[in-house]
Amino acid sequence: MEKLSQKNAPIYEALQKHKSNRVVPFDVPGHKGGRGTPELTAFLGEDCLKIDVNSMKPLDNLIHPISVIAEAEQLAADAFKAKSAFFMVNGTTSAVQAMIMTACKAGDKIILPRNVHRSAINALVVCGAIPIYVNPGVDRDLGIPLGMSVSDIKNTILKNPEAKAILVNNPTYYGICSNLSEIVNLAHSYNMLVLVDEAHGTHFYFGENMPIAAMSAGADMAAVSMHKTGGSLTQSSILLVSGSISGSYVRQIINLTQTTSGSYLLLSSLDLARKNLVVNGKEIFKKTMDFACYAREEINKIGGYHAFAKDIINGDTIFDFDLTKMSIHTRDIGLAGIEVYDILRDEYGIQIEFGDLGNILAIISAGDRSFEIERLIGALSEIKRLYKKDKAGMLDHEYINPEVVMPPQKAFYSNKEQIPIHASQGKICGEFVMSYPPGIPILAPGERITNEILEYIDYAKAKGCSLTGAQDLKIEKINIVEEN
């Protein structure tokens, strides 16, 4: 195999060659390069449809790569300083699930924070592993869950020395980082793997003056959302593997759930995005950082908002902070984050990433333009002037410590009964309820439904949060575990 450099993009190059060969397609997909779907072709473009092809020998196969996909994955592994890299086309959801299912079998324990993405708890439902939750720190001023305390993790390890792995969110959606290096050292001293949900941390590998990346910290596996801050297409992701984990076994686990029809649009976007990050990453993320720091400074000058950053670092549950994250606390102007989110979109034509009950998150990237940053700052200033009100009676926190009664898999597959949600206090939840984004469950299967949780759900509904996960789309009823 010819030695490739980081300036190569093997999948992209193979697709270009395939196009130039003008091969007559008697295989799927049935749109035949877009000729069978003229409206779709006009919408997406002929070039796009012509590379939406099926796996074939010259283009390799994602489930068993031996040529151009294997080359692209090795280049990605080298770029991220990992032993192996796997291209994922089912999103970072599938990467998180592959990590957990690699580390744990049915009945195995895994230590993790409760403010994980639903994909992690979904993995527990599928594989039957048992969660041992470490409650994250909570900042009552900001109302958000933080990272995990090293001392809390150590105490949990001592109580559960048979646990197979520790899962860490790093960074959180808000940009908060745990003491990842210390957590890795601690876990490895007890022969536990460290799995990192690094969905929001692609830039840690390529920017300067960033929090430590999972592979640099010695983690065993990391799920990286290239599409979030790395520039690839939505739904494309990379799973990184290091240490003693068998890459061939990881591939087998991935193939349990990932499609056998890998999209070459997604695969080529990962290939080109990796090349771009290696070649231009420092410049890209310097520009991102400059935009974010300028916006943060100007928003804090408005008053009433708190665009938080390294000022909240405490050396433990907030060990570091990702300065590219534009997280803004809104409760002091009397508005929930979701209310500001809606006003920005409906009144100002600005779409931010999410709003929760006390904060908003605007994703900043080098793809932004100065006048758009100014437009966001100006809109927030005007929203304060027009909509500010007394904050009395507002909910002051995002995270509720769960009472876990039974494993998620047992609860999810148990006999269930659907009852009015307001009659469910004290019952065991048999499904998920979450606000999306960010997709962190308010309730997960196997957890006790409390009055505090029901009040939180009512409040989130009233403020306009998009609640998902339950069988009843209106979240007026909920599935509970039938009691014997």
Q: What is the pLDDT along the chain (484 residues), one digit of tens a residue?
A: 568 999 999 999 999 999 988 888 888 899 999 999 999 999 999 999 999 999 999 999 999 999 999 999 999 999 999 999 999 999 999 999 999 999 999 999 999 998 899 999 999 999 999 999 998 888 888 988 899 999 999 999 999 999 999 999 999 999 999 999 999 999 999 999 999 999 999 999 999 999 999 999 999 999 999 999 999 999 999 999 998 999 999 999 999 999 999 999 999 999 999 999 999 999 999 999 999 999 999 999 999 999 999 999 999 999 999 999 999 999 999 999 999 999 999 999 999 999 999 999 999 999 999 999 999 999 999 999 999 999 988 887 767 888 999 999 999 999 999 999 999 999 999 999 998 777 788 999 999 999 999 999 999 898 888 899 999 999 999 999 998 6
Does 433 fall in a domain?
A: yes
Specify whether 301 is located in the same domain as 337. yes
Is the Cβ–Cβ distance between 26 and 35 less than 8 Å?
A: no
352 in a structural domain:
yes
Q: Residue 446's domain is classified under what CATH number?
A: 3.90.105.10
Supply 385's token pair: 């002037």
- Other CB atoms within a 10 A radius of the CB of residue 6 amount to 14
435 and 469 share a domain? yes
* 3-class state of residue 199 by DSSP: coil
Q: Which long-range contacts (CB under 8 A, 24 or more apart) does 44-51 make?
A: 48/265, 50/19, 51/15, 51/18, 51/19, 51/264, 51/265, 51/268
Same domain, 415 and 375: no
Looking at 353, 387, 421, which one is the last position of a domain?
387
Backbone angles phi, psi at 172, to 5 degrees: -75, 175
- Give every CB contact of residue 475 below 8 A, 6+ residues apart in sequence: 421, 433, 457, 461, 467
CA dist list (Å): 177 to 145, 288, 454: 11, 19, 30
Cβ partners under 8 Å of residue 157, min gap 6: 111, 163, 166, 186, 187, 190, 192
Tell me: do 359 and 441 sit in the same domain: no
Burial classification of residue 82, based on how many CB atoms lie within 10 Å of its CB (0-12 exposed, 13-18 middle, 19 or more buried): buried
pLDDT of residue 396: 73
Per-residue confidence (pLDDT) for residue 392, from 0 to 100: 86
Mark whether 374 and 418 lie in a shared domain.
no
Measured CA distances, 253 to 96, 111, 239, 240 (Å): 11, 20, 12, 14
**Are 306 and 337 in the same domain?**
yes
Structure tokens belonging to residue 150: 């090293």
CB count in 10 Å sphere of residue 113:
27
Q: Domain of 468?
A: 408-481
**Residue 473 half-sphere exposure, CB side, CA atoms within 13 Å?**
0
Q: Residue 1 domain-assigned?
A: no
Does 396 map to a domain? no
Residues forming a β-bridge with 194: 166
Helix (H) or strand (E) holding 388, with range, is: none
What CATH code is carried by the domain that includes residue 362?
3.90.1150.10
* 276 falls within a domain: no
Q: Calculate ∠ Cα 344-347-349, nearest 5°.
A: 65
Chain centre distance of CA 323: 17
Query: 16 CB contacts (<8 Å, ≥6 apart)?
Result: none
**Is 299 within a domain?**
yes
* Number of domains observed in the structure of the chain: 2
Instruction: Quote the pLDDT of residue 439.
Output: 79
Which pLDDT value is given to residue 2?
65
The helix or strand, by DSSP H or E, that contains position 221, with its residue range, turns out to be strand 221-224
Predicted structure pTM score = 0.94
Give yes or no for a contact between 363 and 326, defined as CB atoms under 8 angstroms apart: yes
Whether 361 and 420 map to the same domain: the answer is: no
Residue 458 falls within a domain, yes or no? yes
Instruction: Answer yes or no: do 434 and 364 share one domain.
Output: no
**421 C-beta neighbours (distance < 10 Å), count:** 23
Instruction: Please check whether residues 289 and 380 belong to one and the same domain.
Output: yes
The pair of structure tokens assigned to 326 is 């534009």
**Cβ neighbours of 49 (radius 10 Å):** 22
Instruction: Tell me the two tokens of residue 369.
Output: 């333009």
CA distances from 119 to 95, 114, 197, 239 (A): 9, 12, 10, 14
Q: Do 353 and 423 belong together in one domain?
A: no
Query: Strand, helix or coil at 328?
Result: strand
Which has the closest alpha carbon to 13: 82, 60, 83, 66? 60
Provide the pLDDT for residue 399: 75
Verify that 373 and 457 share a domain, yes or no: no
Give pLDDT, residue 243. 87
Residue ending a domain, choose from 357, 387, 417: 387
**One domain, residues 382 and 289:** yes
In three-state secondary structure terms, 355 is strand
Cα within 13 Å of Cα(448), Cβ side = 10
158 within some domain: no
Name the domain boundary from 321, 353, 387: 387
Nearest Cα neighbor of 394 from 141, 15, 19, 40 is 141
H helical segments located in 207-259:
226-229, 247-257
Give 247's contacts (C-beta < 8 A, 6+ positions apart): 83, 84, 241
Q: Which amino acid is at 390?
A: D
